[in-house]
C-alpha cells in the first residue's frame, strides 16, 4: 500500500502509526483532525463496537457534528482507518491514544460518583498483551487524577522488552463545535513525567499538535496536574451555569432580568461573558459525571467541605430542571394532566444529536408523571430520545416536525436552542393551539415580545413572564 505524504510517495506501512482506542465523540473527530493535519502519520481508530466502526466507514457517521463528514472523507482510507482489529492496531502502533468511555460507576464502592474505570483498565491490559515494541500511551479520556499511575503499574507488570511512557492529554472540545474546537483550540494540554523518556514523549506529542496549533497554545504540565485540570475545567464551566441559574430563580421572584444581570456582570473582564446563559439546566455526558468524580476524589482525600462545594453545582442543576417543570404546572392552572405539551428539542444542546444527561430527559419524565400528553420533536436526536424514553414510549409521541407536535397543544416547551426554532411561523403555530396557549422557553432563544404580541403567554427562564392572563 502506498500513499503520498509530505510531497513524496512512501509506503504507508512505514509511516509512524497512531492508534486510538475508542471511536466515540472524542476519538473519531480528534483522530480525523490529526490525520488531516499530519499526513505523514497513519491514523488507525479501533473500537469493540462493530456497528460504530462500520458507520465511520460509511456516509452515515455514528455521530452528528457540523463539518465532521467532510473532514473524515478527506482522509478516510488514505491515512485514516477504522477497524475492530484492536490487537493488530496495538501491535503496529507507535503512539496509542485511549479514548474509551469513563462513565459514572453505577455499582459497588463509589456508586453514583466515582468513575467506572473498567473499560479503561481493560484497554491497559490489552495494550500490555499485544505490544511487542515501545509505545507512548496517551490518556485522552477524562480520568480521576492519578489514574496514569494505575495504567503504568499494569503496563509495567508485563514483558520488559516493551517499554511504555504514559502521557495525559485531556480533550476540551465541546459537542456541536468540535471541528472548530479541534482546529483552533484555546489550548492543548500535555502532561508527562519529568524524566528523560517522559520529556521525549511529551515532545513527540507536542510536535504532532504543532502541525497546526501555535506552540504558545500547547501547554505542558505534570501528569497529575493535567489530569486534574480537565476535571477542574468542566467543574468551573458548569459552576458558572449553576451560578447564573441560581440567580435566574431569584430574578423570577424579584422581576430582575437574568439576561441583563448576565450582561452587567459579564462585561467585567475578570468575570467574562461566556457560560452565563441561564437555561433549563446543563446536560451532556461530562459535566455531571466529571463533577461527581471530583466530589468523590475530594471525599477520598477527606476534603469534605471541598466535596460539598462542588456537589452543590450538580444539585443546583437538578433544582433548575425541577423548577422549570414546577413553573410550567403552576402557570397552567396547577395541572397538566391530559394536556398536550409540544417539546421542542431533546438534544442536550444545539447542533448535536447527543442526548446524554439532557435536561429534556428529566423534564419529559416529570411531565409524563403528571399525566401530560407529551410530543417530542428534535431535528437530530429523535433516535436517542426514543432510546432514553423506551420505558415510557407508550406515553410519549415522537415527531420530527415541531409544527405537527404543536398542533392542538396547550403549551410549547423549548428545551434545546436549535436555531431553526427561532425561525418557525409562531403565528401559524398559535392559530392551531388550544387557548390560552403557553410557551416555556428553557433556553431563552425565542423572541418573547413577538410571541406575546401573537397571543402567547410567555415564560422565559429568569425573566418576568409576559402573560395575558
Ligand atoms: P463515547 O461513549 O462516545 O465513545 C467511547 C467509545 O469507546 C465507544 O464507542 C466504546 O465502544 C469504546 N470502547 C469502550 N471500551 C473499549 C475497549 N476496551 N476497546 C475498544 N473500544 C472501547 O465516549 P466519548 O464521548 O467519546 O468520551 C470518551 C472520553 O472522552 C470520556 O472519558 C469523556 O469524559 C471524554 N470527553 C468527552 C467529550 C465529549 O464531548 N463527548 C469531550 C471531552 C472529553
Ligand atoms: C463541555 C465543555 O464545554 C468542553 O470543554 C468539554 O470538553 C466537554 O464538556 C466534555 O468534557 O465533555 P459540551 O458538554 O459538549 O462541552 O457542551 P457545552 O457547550 O459545554 O454545554 C454543556 C451544557 O451546558 C449544554 O446543555 C448547554 O446547553 C449548557 N449551557 C452552556 C448553558 O445552559 N448555559 C451556558 O451559558 C452554556
- What pLDDT, in 10s, does the model give residues 236-260? 999 999 999 999 999 999 999 999 9
Please, what's the b/e burial string for 85-121 (b: 16 or more CB within 10 A of its CB; e: otherwise)? ebeebbbbbbbbbbbbbbebbeeeebeebbbbbebbe
Using CA atoms, how far residue 125 sits from 27, 130, 227, in Å, is 19, 9, 21
Of the candidate ranges 109-118, 129-138, 439-448, the one whose mean pLDDT is the lowest:
109-118
Return the pLDDT at 10.
52
- Minimum-distance ligand to the CA of 99? 1
Nearest-Å Rg of the Cα atoms of the chain is: 24
- Residue whose CA is at the smallest distance from ligand 2 atom 17: 174
Residue in the block written with cell 407529551: 374
- Residue whose CA is at the smallest distance from ligand 2 atom 12: 286
For residue 177, what is its C-alpha cell? 463545535
Question: Which residues form the pocket of ligand 1, taking CB atoms under 6 Å from any ligand atom?
Answer: 21-27, 46-49, 52, 86, 99-102, 119, 122-123, 141-142, 171, 173, 175, 285-286
Return the pLDDT at 4.
39
Ligand 1 atom at minimum distance from 49 CA: 11
Question: Stretch 19-29: mean pLDDT, rounded?
Answer: 97
- Residue whose CA is at the smallest distance from ligand 1 atom 20: 47
Res 208 pLDDT > 70: yes
At 160, the pLDDT band (50, 70, 90 cuts) reads: low
At 11, the pLDDT band (50, 70, 90 cuts) reads: low
- Residue whose CA is at the smallest distance from ligand 2 atom 24: 282
- What pLDDT, in 10s, does the model give residues 388-425? 999 999 999 999 999 999 999 999 999 999 999 999 99
Whether 172 is in the pocket of ligand 2, judged by its Cβ within 6 Å, is: yes
- Which of 338, 394, 331 minimizes the C-alpha distance to 371? 338
| DSSP characters over 17-32 | EEEEE--STTHHHHHH
In whole angstroms, give the CA distance from residue 59 to residue 398.
Answer: 25
Respond yes or no on whether the N-terminal peptide bond of residue 21 is cis (omega within 30° of 0). no
Residue in the block written with cell 391530559: 338
In whole angstroms, give the CA distance from residue 458 to residue 437.
Answer: 9
How many angstroms is it from 234 CA to the middle of ligand 2? 8
Ligand 2 atom at minimum distance from 245 CA: 33
- What pLDDT, in 10s, does the model give residues 88-106? 999 999 999 999 998 888 9
Residue in the block written with cell 462500520: 54
How many angstroms is it from 2 CA to the middle of ligand 2? 41
How many angstroms is it from 156 CA to the middle of ligand 1? 24
- Choose the residue to mutate in 26, 88, 294 for probing ligand 1, maximizing ligand atoms within 8 Å of C-beta: 26
Residue that wins the pLDDT comparison between 208 and 8:
208
Return the pLDDT at 8.
42
Return the pLDDT at 25.
94
Res 5 pLDDT > 50: no
- Residue whose CA is at the smallest distance from ligand 2 atom 19: 174
Ligand 1 atom at minimum distance from 100 CA: 7
Question: Stretch 173-188: mean pLDDT, rounded?
Answer: 97
Q: Check: pTM over 0.85? Answer yes or no.
A: yes
Ligand 2 atom at minimum distance from 359 CA: 26
Average pLDDT score over the chain: 95
| DSSP characters over 255-278 | T--HHHHHHHHHTSTTT-STT---
Ligand 1 atom at minimum distance from 141 CA: 32
Whether 232 is in the pocket of ligand 2, judged by its Cβ within 6 Å, is: no
Return the pLDDT at 69.
97
Whether 56 is in the pocket of ligand 2, judged by its Cβ within 6 Å, is: no
Whether 173 is in the pocket of ligand 2, judged by its Cβ within 6 Å, is: yes
Return the pLDDT at 12.
64
Question: Stretch 321-345: mean pLDDT, rounded?
Answer: 98
- Minimum-distance ligand to the CA of 462? 2
How many angstroms is it from 405 CA to the middle of ligand 1? 33
At 360, the pLDDT band (50, 70, 90 cuts) reads: very high
How many angstroms is it from 197 CA to the middle of ligand 2? 36
- Residue whose CA is at the smallest distance from ligand 1 atom 37: 26
Ligand 2 atom at minimum distance from 284 CA: 14
Whether 241 is in the pocket of ligand 2, judged by its Cβ within 6 Å, is: yes
Catalytic residue ranges: 286
- What pLDDT, in 10s, does the model give residues 44-89? 999 999 999 999 999 999 998 999 999 999 999 999 999 999 999 9
- Residue whose CA is at the smallest distance from ligand 2 atom 6: 172
Amino acid at each position: 500500500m502506498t500513499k503520498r505524504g509530505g510531497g513524496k510517495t512512501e509506503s504507508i506501512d512505514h509511516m509512524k502509526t497512531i492508534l486510538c482506542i475508542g471511536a466515540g465523540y472524542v476519538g473519531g473527530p480528534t483522530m480525523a483532525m490529526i490525520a488531516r493535519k499530519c499526513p505523514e502519520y497513519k491514523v488507525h481508530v479501533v473500537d469493540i463496537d462493530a456497528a460504530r466502526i462500520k458507520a465511520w466507514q460509511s456516509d452515515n457517521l455514528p455521530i452528528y457534528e457540523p463539518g465532521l463528514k467532510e473532514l473524515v472523507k478527506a482522509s478516510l482510507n488514505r491515512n485514516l482507518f477504522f477497524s475492530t482489529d484492536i490487537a493488530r492496531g496495538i501491535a503496529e502502533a507507535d503512539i496509542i491514544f485511549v479514548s474509551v468511555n469513563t462513565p459514572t460507576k453505577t455499582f459497588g464502592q463509589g456508586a453514583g460518583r466515582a468513575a467506572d474505570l473498567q473499560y479503561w483498565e481493560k484497554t491497559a491490559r490489552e495494550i500490555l498483551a499485544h505490544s511487542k515494541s515501545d509505545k507512548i500511551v496517551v490518556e485522552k479520556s477524562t480520568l480521576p487524577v492519578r489514574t496514569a499511575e494505575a495504567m503504568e503499574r499494569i503496563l509495567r507488570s508485563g514483558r520488559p522488552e516493551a517499554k511504555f511512557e504514559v502521557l495525559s492529554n485531556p480533550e476540551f472540545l465541546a459537542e456541536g463545535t468540535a471541528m472548530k474546537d479541534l482546529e483552533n483550540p484555546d489550548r492543548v494540554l500535555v502532561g508527562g513525567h519529568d524524566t528523560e523518556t517522559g520529556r521525549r514523549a511529551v515532545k513527540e506529542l507536542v510536535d504532532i499538535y504543532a502541525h497546526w496549533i501555535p506552540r504558545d497554545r500547547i501547554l505542558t504540565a505534570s501528569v497529575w496536574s493535567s489530569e486534574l485540570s480537565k476535571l477542574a475545567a468542566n467543574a468551573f464551566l458548569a459552576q458558572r451555569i449553576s451560578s447564573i441559574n441560581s440567580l435566574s430563580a431569584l430574578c423570577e421572584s424579584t422581576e430582575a432580568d437574568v439576561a441583563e444581570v448576565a450582561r452587567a456582570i459579564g462585561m467585567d473582564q475578570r468575570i467574562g461573558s461566556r457560560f452565563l446563559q441561564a437555561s433549563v439546566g446543563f446536560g451532556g455526558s461530562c459535566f455531571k459525571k466529571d463533577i461527581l468524580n471530583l466530589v468523590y476524589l475530594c471525599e477520598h482525600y477527606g476534603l469534605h467541605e471541598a466535596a460539598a462545594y462542588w456537589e452543590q453545582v450538580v444539585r443546583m442543576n437538578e433544582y433548575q430542571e425541577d423548577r422549570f417543570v414546577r413553573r410550567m404546572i403552576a402557570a397552567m392552572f396547577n395541572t397538566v394532566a391530559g394536556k398536550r405539551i409540544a417539546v421542542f428539542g431533546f438534544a442536550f444542546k444545539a447542533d448535536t444529536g447527543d442526548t446524554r444527561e439532557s435536561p429534556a430527559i428529566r423534564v419529559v419524565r416529570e411531565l409524563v408523571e403528571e399525566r401530560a400528553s407529551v410530543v417530542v420533536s428534535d431535528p437530530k436526536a429523535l433516535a436517542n430520545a426514543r432510546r432514553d424514553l423506551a420505558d415510557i414510549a407508550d406515553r410519549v409521541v415522537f415527531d420530527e416536525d415541531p409544527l405537527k407536535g404543536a398542533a392542538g397543544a396547550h403549551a410549547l416547551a423549548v428545551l434545546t436552542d436549535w436555531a431553526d426554532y427561532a425561525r418557525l411561523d409562531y403565528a401559524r403555530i398559535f392559530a392551531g393551539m388550544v387557548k390560552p396557549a403557553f410557551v416555556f422557553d428553557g433556553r431563552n432563544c425565542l423572541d418573547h415580545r413577538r410571541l406575546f404580541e401573537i397571543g402567547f403567554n410567555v415564560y422565559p427562564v429568569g425573566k418576568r413572564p409576559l402573560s395575558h392572563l
